[in-house]
Every structure is written in C-alpha cells, then in structure tokens.
Structure 1
Amino acid sequence: MRLNKNIRQTLRIAKIELSSMFYSPVAWLILVIFALLIGYDYANVFDGQLHSQSLGNNLWNVSSAIYNSWMTGILKPILRNLYLYIPLITMGLMSREYQSGSVKLLYSSPIKNSSIILGKYLAMMCYGAALMSIIGLNVLFSWLTVENFQISMLLVAMLGIYLLILAYSAIGLFMSTLTAYQVVAAIGTLAVLAVLNFIGDVGQGIDFVRDITFWLSIYGRSTSFIDGLLPSADVMYFLIVIGLFLALSIFKLNTEKKIMSMRTKVLKYSMIVVSALLLGYLTSLPQMKLYYDGTYTKTNTLAPESQKVIQNLKGPLTITTYVNILAPDYFSGLPFNRNYDLARFERYMRFKPEIKMKYVYYYHNANNAELDARYPDLNDEERARALCDISHLNFKMFKSPEEIDKMIDLSGEGYQFVRIVEQENGRKEVLRLFNDNERHPREGEITATLKRFVAKAPMVAFSTGYGSRSINNYGGRGYYLFARDLWFRHSLLNQGFDTREINLDEEKLTDDISVLVISDLKEALSEKALANVKDFVDHGGNMVILGEYERSENMNSLGALFGVHFSDGVLAHPNKLGSPVVLCASYTDEAVEKHSAFNRMQAWGYGVSVPTAVALDYSQVKDFEVYPVLVTGDSAWIEHETKDMVDGEFVCNPAAGEEEGNYAVLINLSRKIGDKEQRIIISGDSDFITNEEFGLTRPGMEVNNFEVITGSFRWLSYDAYPIYTDRIGAIDNGINLSGDWRVWIKLFFMILFPAFLVGTGVMIIYRRQRK
C-alpha cells in the first residue's frame, strides 16, 4: 500500500510538472526549433535521394544515407547540438520551487523526496519522448516509403538519442536543485554538459586520467547507437549517469530537510559518486560486454570467417604495439590517441575479451626522409627530443636504440610502426601498417595475421630462372609488391600466404607447396624442370601459369600439360587514349557467378589492365573443367604483322589471319584427383600484377588489378585466403515514390509540421490563459 502511494504521488507530481511545462512557451519553442532543424535536414537529404533516383541513378543503402552516413546522415548533427536544448527545460524543475517558496510546502507534506525528484524526472522523460516523436515521424515516413527500410537500425539509433536526452535531463535536474535562479541553473547545466561532451579529449596522455575522462565523455557514447550497434556498456553508462544524478538530487533535498555536518555530506556525496564509477568500471570490462547489431548487413560485427578464427584461438593474446617516434606513423600510437587505437580492435575484443593491448615507445633511425629534410643537422636522439617537445611528451618514456634492440629485433621491419601479436606459448606474428591512404590494417589483414596461429599458411612458390619474374625484384617488371612487400596491403604475405622462390632444376616440388607460380619464360624449361612440374601436376598440385608476348613457344610446353595453347601474336584493341596493346579485360558472367570478388568488380564497372597479352586457346582441354575469367571484348584481334609496340600501327588485317573477336586472357581449370580438387590458373599476360602496373593510372580505363589477385588466390586456397570480410549487400536500395513527391515532402517537414506545432502550442497556452 505504501509503495502504491509513493507511485501515485510520483505520477501526480509528473502530471503537474508536465502541465506546467506545456503551458510554457519555452517548451513549445524548443519543440518547434527542433522540428524545424530536423525537418530541414531530413527533407533535403530525402530530396537528394529521390532526385537521384528520378534521374535514373541506382540508390544504395538509403537508410544509412539518410540517417547515419558520415556525409549526409542527419542523426549525428542532432547529437552534437542536443545539449543546447535540455538546459532550457530543466532549469526550472526545482529552481522554480525554490524561487516561489513552494518547496517548503513540499517539505512539510508527506511526499517523499524521492517521489518529488522521480516525478519531475518522469515529466522530463515524457518531454524527451515528445522530442523523439519528431524524429520518429520522419522515421515512420521513411519506413513506409523506403524499400526494405532498416527499421531495427533506426530503433537502436533512436534509443541512443533518447538515452542521451534522459542523461542530460538527469544532470539538468540536479543542477536545478542547487540554486533558486533558473538562469544560473541553465548556465550550470550547459557548462556541465559541455564538459561531459568534450572531456573525452582531456588528459589522454596520462594513463589513469585517460581512462576516467574517456569513460566520462558522454557524446561518444551515442555514436555507436547511431551506427546501429547496441552495446551493453554504453547502455549501462547512461543508466549509471541517470542514476547518479537522480541520487545526488534526492540527497540534495534530504540535506535541506535534515541538518548534516559538512563531513557527512562530503562522505555521502563521495560514496554515491564512487559507487557509480565502480559500477561503470565493472560494466565496461570486456568480459561483461554484450552487443546487438541492428544493421541488416551486420557492418558493426566481425564477418563470419573472422569470428571462426577468433573462436579457434586458444588462450590469451597480447598485441604489443612498438611505436618509433622517428617513424612516419608514430602519432597513431601515442598515449593521447590510445583509446582511438584500441577502438580498432574493439570488434575482436567483443569475441575474445582476453586480448590485451600493450605499448612500447622508443626512438631509432627508420629512414624517414621527412625528418631528414626537417632536421638535417640533428642526430636521432636530438630529433626524438624535438618531436617530444612538439607533442608535449616525456622523452624518458622512449627507449634508446640500444635498449629496444636488446628487447626485440625490429630491423626486419625497418623499425616502422608495427604490432607483435603473441600467444601465451611465445609464438609471435606481425601486424603492420601499409603504404596507402588508409594506413591501418582492415579486418581482412588482422584476421589473416591471427589465422596464422590456428592454421598453417599456404606456401606459394615462384619458379626462378628461365627469365621468370622475381619476387625479390622491386623494379617495374618484378613481383615484389604482389608477392612479399611487407607494407603493401594486397601482397600475398599480408593476406595470409607465405611465399618463396624455387629452382625447378634443383628442388623437388613437395606437398608443402600449395601453389606453384611459373611466369614469363624467356627460355624453355629443361626436361628435368618440366618433368618436375609434370609430377607436381599429376599429384594434384595447384598452379598459376603466366604467359607473355613473344614467349608463347616456351609457354606452350607447359600449356600442353593441360591442352591450352598460347597464341603467337599480341592482342590489340582500338584505344584512343592509350596503346592499343594495353587492353581492359572484363570479367565473364561465369567468373562473376563463381567468385564474389569478381562479382563486386563487375558491379562497380572495373576491369583488369593487361599489357601486351596473348590469347588463350582452350578448345583442346579434355580432362579439366574450364571457363574463361577475363576476356577482351568483341573488337579485339590477334596482331601478327606489327612488332613495334611503341610506334607501330595496329590495324586488323583479315588477310594476315587477324580476326576481330572476344578472346580469353585468363582461364581457370579444375579437376578431381582423389579426394582433392586440383585448380589451375593460366594467363596470357605476366604484366598485370607487376610492381609497375599497380602504380599506373590508365587513361580511359576503369581497372582494379588488386582484386584479381584476391579472387584468384582465394580460389586456389579453397576459399581459405584472403579472408572474406564482405557482408551481404544492402537491400534498401530504392524509394517507392516518384519525383513529384519532392515538393510535398519539403512542404510538410519544413513548413506544415512545424506550423502545426506552433498552432498547437499557441492554442494550449491561450486556453490556459483564458482559464
């Protein structure tokens, strides 16, 4: 009965507070401004999507484009500005009672202080729901009009915004209990909210302070919700903050009723705060975290292959980041960036909480040309000290070259920014940064490194001699980038493979070789080497054979093992912007159907550049299932007459046996040998994966030669490597409205709905005044 009475008192206070709130112009003014700003952003973004569709463009992931895209999404600006609205509402919750003297009546009544605070907070919950209904209106409209709208993602996002409103409201309510002046309460609330929004960047260089301020940062707690991820730690954070400030508010009223010493007040306030911080610490432990990914494509969650690798990892894992202040990327690993660096592994810690992150700081010459130009007259130690002064770092935290060399040998990594992943048994693997704009490894590279702990890396052996391309050659025609460059993201080494060279005349092709690569034979293989290869093929070994123009006679001895013939002439194709012997080969429908990587490239309109390639005739293939992967298109021909690749004139001459047609440039062959499927890739070009080709831009050609490596070697490794991290495609790719709706959408969300709120507010306030 007593509990029911307290609830009734709480509800009564909430009703009175709501009445007072909505009879005030301020509450309606905030609703109108909120509706105007959101309506303006929403109408413009939705209009842009509808306009693009009416022009015949294909839309993609419309839900994200409208709400959480980093370029056009409307929800993140709401988070940034939300703290400006709440103080105007909460400033009078208790200050008004103090100012009018009605608080004395409340104190003398049988109403509990907790009922007073909870009743007023319940009123703020209702007002927050009114604010959320404005967002909910356009979400409802999107749900009704956008094809396969991601409603679960938006419900998670709206929950995050609502929790933020509730947290702001609890803080505002507490500030209102501290003063009888509403303006002071509003300014105080605004100051506290501003501090909590920006405190996440304070003290990030100090370990103990960094964890506290990062946890206290309230703005960043909602961004994961906006992206459609519901983390239990962030939900608990908001609940703890709400509970903390409500408890402080109730205790503040208790101090008004009872006489307490300052020591008792400080002790009780401290106990409330410490309890909240302790609870926050416990709920933020990796072992305590739970997640729900509301996105259809599960973009916030590790791909299934990555999850499987993590599940198979036994025991704890330590990732030690070695930060050389003289290396180009040292800034990413500095103490004040550590929480952002840890976030890169958050999705892995979700599935393996035992992952520990460590950081070691040192200075060592890393052949940094930028520092050589900036500090030409300083030695390494002096350069390190200068950089420490610029970044306000303590030089003593950096180990000397002698100290770091005693700890670990990083010379093979060039003393660059590198992470060493180590198991409890001491086994180590290396995770690097890459020489591209993104720099840090993506999920595919991280998982490929972790997979080395649970599975043996496939060995790709490249034949040497006979003029074959070398994986140690960094020149234009070499294969160093493709095969083993430590800092090239797409190299086989960084995608989970091991690579080495092999002399076919001196070494036997053994079972530990997963793939044999033979390229660009300037000389024919010896009988011994050819017999070695034939034995490897007969036992089901997988191969990549890369031909080249003017090498057909030497390559055909290999091709004969499979029934494939390399043409004598070079493939040519009319090209106004470049050489006619540099073709843009396209993926076949059959290849696209079998390889997801090729499917994506075809959908995006990318082909593969193949310079001076020869055509492949696979009409005599008998024992293998064969299909073309790359073809030239119908206007290509095999040029027999012109030999000058630079200044020669390329014209299709039927009299010389040249015939326009669609020629195969790369083919896949497979067959069953025992319980294994043997897989062979044969190409009429060796240049399309050279160091030079990866760095070139071909005018008039939309090409991506990286993905042909990804798709081909994934097929050769039986879908084990590279790690497949693609998600299912978005299905909200259209709007079920015509372009004629654009004007009406803008009219409603920008004018009519805000006008409706204005009219409703004026009517309610006017009727109140008449009474």
Structure 2
Amino acid sequence: MKPILKITKTELRQLFFSPIAWLIIVIFAFQTGLVFTSLYDGMVRRQLIGWKLWSATFSTFGGMQGTFTIVQQYLFLYIPLLTMGLMSREFSSGSIKLLYSSPLRSRQIVFGKYLALVIYALVLMAVLAVFSIFAICTIHKVDVPLILTGLLGLFLLTCAYAAIGLFMSSLTSYTVVSAMGTLAIFAVLNYVKTVGQDIEFVRDLTYWLAISGRCDTFISGMITSEDLLYFLIVICLFISFTIIKMQAARQKRSWVINSGKYAAVLVTGLMLGYFSAQPKLMGYYDATRTKTNTLTKSSQEVLSHLKDGMTIHTYTNMLDENFWIALPESYKIDVDRFKQYQRFKPGIKMKYHYYYHLTDNKLLNKQYPTLNGDQMIDTLTKMYDWKFDIYPYKHYSKDVELEAEKFHFVRHLKSDNGKEAFLRVYDDLQKLPSETEITAAFKRLVIDTLPTVGFLTGHGERRSDGEEDRGYNMFAQEKSFRYALINQGFDFQDVTLDQEIPEHIRILLVAEIRKPLTEEELARLNRYIAKGGNCIIAGEPGREAFMNPLSEPLGVSFLPGTLVKPGKKFQPDLLLLSPTPQSTKLAFHFRNIRQNEQLLPLSTASALQVSTNKGFEATTLFTSDSTGGWLEQQTTNFIDDSARLDPQAGEQEKPWPTVVALERTVNNKQQHIIVMGDADCFSNGELMMNRKDVPAANFNFISGIFYWLTNEELPVDMRRPNQPDRSLNLGKTSWAISKAGLKWLFPVLLTCCGMFIWIRRKSR
C-alpha cells in the first residue's frame, strides 16, 4: 500500500503544481456558478412576486435544467485534459523504463496514478459541495439526501471517465492522441446503446454498456444496484485494461495471450453487467424525502395482489400514427417505462408484436389514398428500411381482438390466471399512459368485480356512446381520452327499466330524463335506491316534471327556471362555480379545485331545493353566487333576450344549491347519491370546451364524485406528500451579495490559490 500512496502523492504534486489542473478547477467552478446562480435568480424573483416554488431542491439540482444535470453534460470535456499526460509523459520522457526496472508492480503503478485522479475528482466534488452547502443553508426544508445522491453519481461518473482516460493514456506517448482517443471512447459509450437493438441478447449488453444517462437516476435521488455496479464495473474494466497493457510492455508475450486477457476481462465485465441489469437481481433505494421515484402506495398495493405471473403484449400497427412508440430500436427505452412496476413485480414479461391493418391514420391515408394495406406496408418498409417481421393482422387475430381498439397501438395485459386488460395511448400531448392509467389497467387483473357504471336509457337520457355535443361518449368510453371511465378502471353498460336493475351496477347514472317514467319503471328505480344503490341524478331546466318523481323522495327537488349571472364575457346562463368548503370532506379532488382556483362551468343549470327529513345527510358541493345571480323565471332565450332581475316574479339574488351529495347507511353499508342541476358538465361539448381565462374543473369534479361514489376505490389515488421545500431563506439584498460571491469571488479565490501554489513552486 505504501508504494501506491507514494505514487499517488507524486502524481498529486505534479497535478497541483501545474496550471492545467487549477485551470480546470477554476473553469469548472465558474461554469457551475453560472448555472447555479441563473437557477437561483429565477427562484428568488418568483418568490419576491409572491409565487410559491415547487421543490426548490429538485429545481436547483435535478430535472432537465438543474445544476447537476448541466454539469453532467460537460464533465466529459475536462477529464481528457487531465489524463492525457498521466501515462503518456512517462513514455515520451523515457521515465517509464525506470518504473519498469523498479520493484514496483504494474498494478501498483496503475492504482497509484488512478488514486490521484480519484482525489482530484473529490476536489471537483468539493467545488460542487460549496454550491450544495449554500443551497442547504438557504432552501427551507431542503431535501439533503437528493443532493448527496447527485454528488455521488457525479463522483462515480468522473471516476469512470478517469479510468477510461488513464487507459487511453497508457496506449500512446502522444498526449493529444491520448485526449482524442479518450473522447472517442466517450463517444462510443454514448452511441453503443443504439447497436443491435433488434437482437435480444445483444441489445441487453449494448444498452447496459452505454454511459449516457447513467447519472440521471442519482441526480433524481435514486440509487439502483444496476447503475452503481455499472460505474464500478466500468472502472475495474479499464483499470484492468491498463494493467494488462503495462504488463504486456514489461513482459514480452505473444499477442494471443494478451488478447485473451483483454477478452477475458471484457467478457467478465459484460456478463456481470448483464446479470446486474436483470429486474430480479436489482436493488433500489429512493433517497428523496417524498419518494418521488417510487410508485405510490396505491400502486404498490395493487401490485401486492398480483400473485400470478403476467405478460404485457404490445401490439403495434405499423400503419397507425403511433407506430414509433415501441419499435425494436426503442425496445429498452420502452421496457424502462415499466421499470418502477418491475421493481415490485420483477416477473413481468414483455412481448412485442408488429402487424399491419388499415386504420384511421389521416396523414397516411391522405398521402397514399389509392393503396391498400399490403401496398402501403410495402412502401413504408422500403422507405424506413424496416428489417423486422411485420405480419398481417390475421396472424394475431386468434390471440387478441383489436377491432374494438380500432387497430390503434395498444398493450394487452394478460395474467396467468386468464384475466385481461388493455392499456392504451391517448390523443393528447402526453400520449403515453401515466401511473394512474397503468395502475388502473393492472387493477383489472387483481379484482374480481370492477365497479360498473350503468347508464339509464329509454327516456331520451344522455347516452354513453353518444358522440354529439350533448352525448357522454368522451366521458364514458372514448378509448383515446385519458380521463374516460374505461381508462380509469371502470366498466359500463346501458340499463333499461323493462327489468330490474342488475345487482352488479355500482353506480347508476340518470342524465336528463326527457320522457315521463311509468309507475313500474319508477318503482324499479326506487327499489334500486332502497337497496342502497349509488347513483348520479343530473337534470336540466324544463325537465322538473320528469326528474322530481325520482329525486323528491330523496329530499331534493329541481326548481323551475334557469340560474343566471349576467356578465360581459359569457352568456348569462353560464355559471362558473367554486366548490363549497364542505365539499373537501368528500374527496381530496375538491380541495385541489379550491387550491388551484379552478371553476366548474354549468351551462343552463337548474336550482335545487334540499330538505333534510328524508333520512339522508346532505352536503352541498356547489352553489350559485350570492350576488349578481338569481333563478330566472321568465327569460328562456338568452341569445336574443336579456335576463333582468324581476322581484315581482319572485326572483331574488341569493345562492342556490346546484350539486348536492346525499349519504345514508343502508344494509350496513354507506349509500352515496349525487344530485346535479346540470347534465352538460359531463358532455362531449363541455369537456372539449376551452374558455378564455377559465381554468375548468370538470375532470377534477368527475374524478372526485366517482372517487366518493366507489368508496375511494377508483379512480386510483395517486397522491404523494407535498414537497415541503417551497421557499428560500433569502432576500433581494442577501441574494445579490451571495450571487457575486458564488459567481465571481469563488472562482477568483481558486485562481489566487492556484497562482500562489504555482509561484511558490517556481520560486523553489
């Protein structure tokens, strides 16, 4: 050990007595200061104008533009400058012969020089630690473990770069060639993940070997055994290569023996890497305070019930607009989308199938209007040079029915116990399913009976498959719509009253009855409610005669007239409502609506009258405004006529209930009923409406009432603890002083320190 430490001491002396090492440190500190102060500038300004920050720790160090993320992107530029002369100068000066003739072993020489590089890497981390300590002192409730894991990742990355640079320096006596060779190896390790992605075993090795993005998990606050072992294996790999090179130059042996040593080390490293990347052998540690890199408790609970094995079959229609999501060249990227789930269920299998069938790809159909499916796939195969097998749909039609999915990109989740579910992509900017939709699909595999929503039909009600503006297709069963019930874990079916309402209906939706119910039909509805069935009753102005026979026995009446609030921007019969404080007791979604200052648009809404003598506990969720609005009794045409308050007609400014929740205990279980004075807020037209300066609460409202109606079963609760680090302990003046110190004074002090040591060395 002593010879190694002596070599290390000698190398450190040469490093820190040379201007290049200090120049790297100063430039590194200055660049880091520019990035760090720029980020802090933005946060300080936002805080000064009264805005709340979101996870100041992660915003400063992680994410797309965080300090550690940016440092990772240019760190590779410094290392070749540092390592290019480490061994090369020994060859060029001839001093290598003295080392060879000394009793020192090759590995002692290599370890001594590499240890000097590790210590220099610690110095670079110390520079980053200065900015980290400043953040720890100035961010309120800072997430310290997130910062420490980021520093660990950058340290390991620097050490890996140093090992590569050391090896390249041992290959030549020319420092420039050594530096260029090091950069070339870095480029290869970044590019290699794209090699052989259509060959199963090869893609596992090449994807593992890639160094790009390896530090991302550390920067995000996550330590995985795969990434930790990757850096250790790469370091050992290139140090071993350097030792073999030194031994080969010291002891003349045949190139076959030397090549065999290189091959043995390489194969051993690749095999260790291959097994370390297997989900069943991986370990994880989420260091963040709120476990942001880990599935929520709800998702973990769903996976805990998945006792049988399962396979995710991905079906890609190469004529669909979303064909690019899971191509063979993107296999590993796609598998990583389920990495958090494989952490808790490592037995999940992934299989990929590629087929073609004509679908509603408007761009493709417009470009090739005369081609059939066979001709179209032949053209695209030649254009994109696809070399993997693409079969006609009939090849898979016995295994899965995709016509109902309109032959779009879809994943077919299949459990070993025979249960199945579909996981889709969506027609929005995000495209891919989030944890909410993935967990909802997984939940279909672990529960025996899904919550089924029944849509009452036969009396002009809103239909679940209605695609017109007033229809409910988007809200209920539009598969390309992320928030549709079908994508949130619900089943649905139409219900008629020519027979008893089925027992498995968990929620009955009665939306705007337009024809009178017969006594027998009303009796069937009342029996469903009397047995404790949950339901949503949504009316519209002018339908009181049809709705009240159902709602009045519950203690709620639809009143004649239309609620109005005249204004300059919108028609008077459009209400924009905030939830009442009492609503937050039902579901956390209503608290989110209030906190985010969202508004629920109700177009042509009825007022409700609530009595409390029917055995229900009533909670008013939304009311009309107390000033400027009233229940209009006379005007019905709000386009040509104007609504005017007429006290003589009984109109008065006052708040009217518009959405009411009813609750009681029936047969030892809680019965939940929602009564609404508007049926349009679920409609296709309203869900797709985008009004200027109106942050609509429709989606949160829908999620909230169904969460309450299913006793918090669905939609899956994806809440995480709030990030507490949302403010800085800094004012404008103190930040101005700190900014100057971090951006200018700190690099200047390092420069002075380096010059002092260099001048002192020269004087000696």
| Same fold, judged at TM 0.5 (above) | yes
The counterpart of 1:49, out of the listed 32, 35, 43, is 43
How far does residue 407 in structure 1 lie from its aligned partner after superposition? 4.4
Aligned-pair identity in percent equals: 38
CA drift of 1:203 comes to 4.0
CA distance in 2, matches of 1:700, 1:170: 56
Secondary structure at the residue paired with 2:597? Answer: coil
- Matched residue, 2:9: 15
* Superposed CA offset, 1:489-514 (max 9, x none): 1111111111001112x121233111
- Paired AA for residue 173 in structure 2: A
CA distance in 1, matches of 2:235, 2:173: 22
User: Which residue number in structure 2 is paired with residue 3 of structure 1?
Assistant: none
Aligned residues of 1:297 and 1:728 also touching (Cα < 8 A): yes
- Could you tell me which residue of structure 2 aligns to residue 586 of structure 1? 578
1:391 Cα offset (Å):
2.3
State the shift of 1:401 in Å.
3.5
Aligned position for 2:590: 598
- Corresponding position of 2:620: 628
1:96-124 deviation per Cα after TM superposition (whole angstroms, max 9, x unaligned)? 22222222222222222222111111111
Corresponding letter in the other structure for 2:571: S
Matched, 1:608 2:611: no
Deviates more, 1:491-500 or 1:203-212: 203-212
* Counterpart in the other structure of 1:430: 422
Q: Deviations over 1:132-174 (max 9, x none)?
A: 1111111111111111111111111111111100100110111
Match of 1:216 in 2: 209
Q: CA deviation at 1:593?
A: 4.2
Cα deviation for residue 74 of structure 1 reads 2.1
Match of 1:4 in 2: none
Alignment of 1:536 with 2:528, yes or no, is yes
Q: The residue matched to 1:360 in structure 2 has which SS? A: strand
Amino acid at match of 1:20: Q
Q: 1:552 aligns with which of 533, 544, 561?
A: 544
Does the 8 Å CA contact 1:577/1:699 hold for their aligned counterparts?
Answer: no
Q: How does 1:219-368 map to 2 (within 5 A)?
A: 219-368=212-361
| Deviation string, structure 1 residues 221-277 (Cα, Å, up to 9, x no partner) | 111111111111011001100111111111111112212111111111100000000
Give 1:421 deviation, angstroms: 0.8
What residue is the counterpart of 1:391 in the other structure?
384
Distance in 1 (alpha carbons) for counterparts of 2:566 and 2:693: 12
- Paired with 2:357 and 2:317, the residues of 1 have a C-alpha distance of 7
What's the CA shift for 1:205? 4.3
**Offset at 1:465?**
1.6
Q: CA deviation at 1:206?
A: 4.4
Alpha-carbon separation, structure 2, partners of 1:511 and 1:377:
51
Aligned to 1:561, the other structure's residue is in SS state helix
Supply the distance in 2 between the matched residues of 1:525 and 1:538 (Cα, whole angstroms): 18
Mapped contact 2:313–2:353 kept (Cα < 8 A): yes
Output the amino acid matched with 2:438.
I
Return 698-707 or 326-335, whichever deviates more.
698-707
Aligned counterparts of 1:166 and 1:503: Cα–Cα separation in 2: 70
Asked if 1:526 corresponds to 2:518, the answer is yes
Per-residue deviation, 1:553: 2.3
Asked if the contact 2:577/2:625 (under 8 Å) is kept, the reply is yes
How far, CA to CA, are the matches of 2:52 and 2:659 in structure 1?
Answer: 31
Q: Tell me the alpha carbon deviations over residues 33-78 of structure 1, each in whole angstroms, 9 at most, x when there is no partner.
A: 11111101111110110111111222221112212132x4222221
Q: Distance in 2 between matches of 1:276 and 1:304?
A: 36
**SS across alignment from 1:221:** coil
Is 2:453–2:508's contact at 8 Å kept on the other side of the alignment? yes
* Distance (Å, rounded) in 2 between the aligned partners of 1:465 and 1:739: 66
Tell me what 2:173 maps to: 180
Q: What amino acid sits opposite 2:529 in the alignment?
A: V
Per the alignment, in what secondary structure is the counterpart of residue 397 of structure 2?
helix
- Which stretch of structure 1 is more off in the superposition, 475-484 or 594-603? 594-603
Counterparts of 2:752 and 2:594 in 1: how far apart (Å)?
Answer: 54
Matched, 1:62 2:56: yes
- How far apart are the structure 2 equivalents of 1:63 and 1:651? 54
Q: Deviations over 1:198-233 (max 9, x none)?
A: 332344344444333221110211111111111110
d(CA) in 1 for partners of 2:97 and 2:211? 35
1:654 deviation in Å? 2.3
Q: Which residue of 1 aligns with 2:23?
A: 29
Partner SS state of residue 396, structure 2? helix
Instruction: Compute the displacement of 1:471 (Å).
Output: 0.8
Q: Match of 1:451?
A: 443
What is the alpha-carbon distance in structure 1 between the residues aligned to residue 279 and residue 645 of structure 2? 67
Q: Determine helix, strand or coil for the equivalent of 1:740.
A: helix
Equivalents in 2 of 1:154, 1:559: separation in Å? 57
Question: Which is further off, 541-550 or 601-610?
Answer: 601-610
In 1, Cα distance between the equivalents of 2:224 and 2:306? Answer: 24
Is 282-291 or 508-517 further displaced after alignment? 508-517
Q: Which residue of 2 aligns with 1:513?
A: 505
Name the aligned partner's letter for residue 491 of structure 2. D
The TM-score, its normalising length taken from structure 1, stands at 0.97
Query: Deviation of residue 738 (structure 1)?
Result: 1.1
Offset at 1:746?
Answer: 2.1
Q: Distance in 2 between matches of 1:108 and 1:767?
A: 33
Residue in 2 aligned with 1:489? 482
1:730 partner SS: coil
What's the counterpart of residue 687 of structure 2?
Answer: 694
Kindly state the Cα deviation for residue 93 of structure 1 after the two structures are TM-superposed: 1.5
User: Contact (CA 8 Å) 1:515, 1:541: kept in 2 or not?
Assistant: yes
Is the alpha carbon distance of 1:385 and 1:89 closer, same or farther for their aligned partners in structure 2, counting shifts above 3 Å?
same
* Superposed counterparts of 1:157-172, under 5 Å: 157-172=150-165
**Two-structure CA RMSD over aligned residues (Å):** 1.5
Aligned with 2:351: secondary structure? strand
Pairing 1:118-137 to 2, within 5 Å after superposition:
118-137=111-130
SS at the partner of 2:215?
A: helix
Give the alignment of 1:74-93 within 5 angstroms: 74-93=67-86
Are 1:763 and 2:756 an aligned pair? yes
